[in-house]
A and B are shown apart, each in its own frame.
Chain A
């Protein structure tokens, strides 16, 4: 017998989590299934709405204002600007992210030393904003190759930031392996674990602060790579702020990204609180349909195919990165329901010759009607009870626009709301 729910959400990234959360809040019985680790662990943990227009104008100061000028196929156009605001309201309600006091984008320093426009940022990144004019000290760790503080500082200076910025590299207290995972650093700080410094035992937080104090001059803000704890990040930051006597912030990093993982944890917590159920680690491999209605999807678990039935389905499996969209030498396809994806016939039409050129692959995804139901090549609805959200949608280049999180949250919200409304 199948596992039943009103709404079944496939995918555990930002879009899937938002749509499950919204549908549950609307009173639906919701189940979320996800296969791979969500791409949140690859993401910086910042939540962007729109940083650049599709024409490359930017950085945009007011993302909502800029959404009005988007082309009609853009997901923001499909759901409408006001709905984007509502969706962000839900996000703000369940997280402690900052930036909701204004419509204006923030500019956040990146680990390579650029700044990028974003709409919401974790509390831990707040003191690092680039429009704040207080001087900054960036602190790098000797063996952490993803964040070279002097290099990032010099790059920020070249970017014209309105403050003085200096980078110093220190050795993390205690004898961690040169290749230690970032979670090792985070854990030591979370627990204030004992480390040996010149034969004396000290708490990791104190020892780290002491090393920073030997290189800090008068900077009012001190930035670290995003390793400042996992479970107790606020406490780690507060302890460092007290001992250093300056505001402390994290610079978002590439994968595996602790801010991304923290956000994922928070959203799963919120989903749990909403009463929805979820299951991770197993793929959806097959489905049954009656005409244009999906009846059951099958999840593969230890070799068995477990049926899951729902009235309404949400496809939030991600784009090319998350493998919600796949390709071979001849074509591009959506692997679960084989929804239509528009693409050039010759694979050499899928990309541009420049690494940062205007890549058609970046916009690969399903096209939908106004309620986010995927459309066939002839513009009819693929399945009347299937909606799509997030990176599996086509028509926008999240990387160039810095719009990935916003589109995921907004379309997840709308898909969840519609699915709940339709569910019996």
Chain B
């Protein structure tokens, strides 16, 4: 094999993008395809917890050990995506003392720094914890922005020559003589960065090797190759609060159970989650009782959640995988470990490996292992460097800068922008043009939005995940039109309008699970602003032509200085 092998990676979640970056850094030629946006699948639908490993320290110590190791790595290489909040495992009076001790010991066995603190000490850290919490274990849990992390990985992969194609769905695998030799891909809207309204097309991507990193969708790709990949998708709901009721990750110290974690995330707190097996990773019920369960159960830890404002809920599917001979009934029993399925060894089908199972926190480690595996196939002896090289935005970066003077931005907008951009702040924010705030809830400025547009094209949902614009209290009510205007100029009005509609609809989707109280009022206001003030629900540009001449054309300019009474007799320009 004289040439550089060309590897096609399917899946633009954390796993796929981690593999793509790793292989590209080792000098391989990589093409990654993703059916939606980056993070479209499971990665974009998690609670943003950077595991300390504490969660798995009793039942799944292998996973726990990997977590703490990768927790440390990500703090180094992805500092601008991580907030080290710390975490607590709190024990209520009715929770078992025996399990509490097992958790503590488990953490120590796995090398996870853990200390016991009293209920009073826990409440001193987190004043909104329930008064009857007995005690807690502190662990180094954190919050991580999966969108920012994946985008940074993609940028790094591209810097190392990878081709990243979003909105490109694999429609078939090309198989010749029992070997996978490529993919058939349908681009939603043309090659390169996504542009709305441009005609898409199909493409045959031939590759020396294919990596199936599609998580809960892995079985679908397996079907195309006639191999069986028994992924068991398991859904979980997450409910987003409009403020951070806690600043530390709060876990309930119980063996397992639904609704046992609150993760502070940027301006919000995320309540999670449930664990329920589903048939289809794309089509499963999203039900109100699941949301109620989050609130009603987690208020046992943080009572104020009962009255607090939720802004939306979303569901994710875990790509659980259980080796064929285990046979458990309960998805919470299935290991969070990951598995490489080499289809040559397993199914006599050369040219493809699938990676299934696993956790977001260990995405990089999975990438390393599968890259080792692929390199071994081609006899390539290249070191993995992903644990040492910071991701774009995280190089030598300190938020302790005088960003207000530097960028002319007020606090806290300046601070938040710089935190999001990390070491890219200079490149993005140093502009001689006015840099007003486009999204007020999340403090996102025009420069950041334009930077995201230059990365992701006309897709406002892709702009959203890069900037957080439209992810705050108003859920795009105020800023979606502004974001559409930011697209216009480079893109035609019709493209901006389509992207605007798409963003509104996407924001509506999750909000539907939060429509009571304040958020119902907000939804009614958003609806009024778009429908009443702007008439976007009957946008004449989308509908039937309007007979303009049939409407009042006012009074002529010469009458304009008269009073309303004069105007009443003054006739109209078009003689109506």
Contact = CB atoms under 8 A, between A and B. Distances in A.
Contact of A150 (B481, B488, B541, B564): B488
A72 to B, nearest CB: 24
Interface string A44-72: 10001001100010110100000000000
Interface in B487-527: 488-489, 492-494, 496-497, 504-505, 507-508, 512, 515-517, 520-521, 523-525, 527
Contacts of B541: 113-114, 155, 158-160
Interface in A121-150: 123, 126-127, 129-133, 142-146, 148, 150
Contacts of B118: none
B339 interface: no
Nearest to B529: A254
A320 interface: yes
A255 B568 contact: no
Nearest to B506: A355
B546 A110 contact: no
Interface in A310-336: 319-321, 323, 326-329
Contact of B433 (A104, A142, A348, A399): A142
A96 interface: yes
B282 interface: no
Interface string B534-576: 1111111100011011111111010010011001111111101
Interface string B408-435: 1010000000000000000000000111
B436 A158 contact: no
Given A127-B560, A151-B485, A399 B512 contact: no
Q: Size class of A's contact patch?
A: 35 or more
Nearest to B291: A329
Contacts of B527: 355-356, 359, 362, 399
Contacts of B433: 142
A112 B536 contact: yes
A102 interface: yes
B534 A116 contact: yes
A117 B538 CA distance: 10
B75 interface: no
B567 A178 contact: no
Given A43-B532, A96-B564, A101-B555, A151 B488 contact: yes
Contacts of A412: none
A361 B523 contact: yes
Nearest to A156: B541
B174 to A, nearest CB: 38
B555 A255 contact: no
Interface in A154-178: 154-155, 157-162, 171, 178
A379 to B, nearest CB: 26
Which of B292, B553, B571 has the most chain A CB within a 10 Å cutoff? B553
A101 B572 CA distance: 9
| Chain B interface, >50% SS class | helix
Contacts of B529: 42, 254-255
A146 B486 CA distance: 11
Most buried by B among A43, A145, A151, A399: A145
A361 B546 contact: no
A220 B557 CA distance: 10
A160 B548 contact: yes
| Pairs of residues from A and B, 6 with the lowest C-beta to C-beta distance, nearest first | A148-B485, A116-B535, A154-B493, A399-B531, A320-B524, A151-B488
Given A102-B572, A106-B554, A326-B521, 14 more contacts: A98-B564, A114-B536, A114-B540, A131-B550, A131-B552, A146-B482, A155-B493, A252-B533, A321-B528, A347-B288, A356-B527, A356-B530, A356-B537, A400-B531
Interface of A: 42-44, 48, 51-52, 56, 58-59, 61, 92, 96-102, 104-107, 110-117, 123, 126-127, 129-133, 142-146, 148, 150-151, 154-155, 157-162, 171, 178-179, 220, 247, 252-255, 319-321, 323, 326-329, 346-348, 350-351, 353-356, 359, 361-362, 398-400, 402, 404
24 contacts: A43-B532, A92-B564, A98-B564, A98-B567, A104-B576, A110-B535, A114-B539, A116-B534, A148-B482, A151-B496, A158-B497, A159-B539, A159-B546, A162-B549, A178-B436, A179-B437, A247-B560, A254-B478, A255-B529, A320-B520, A347-B516, A355-B505, A399-B528, A399-B531
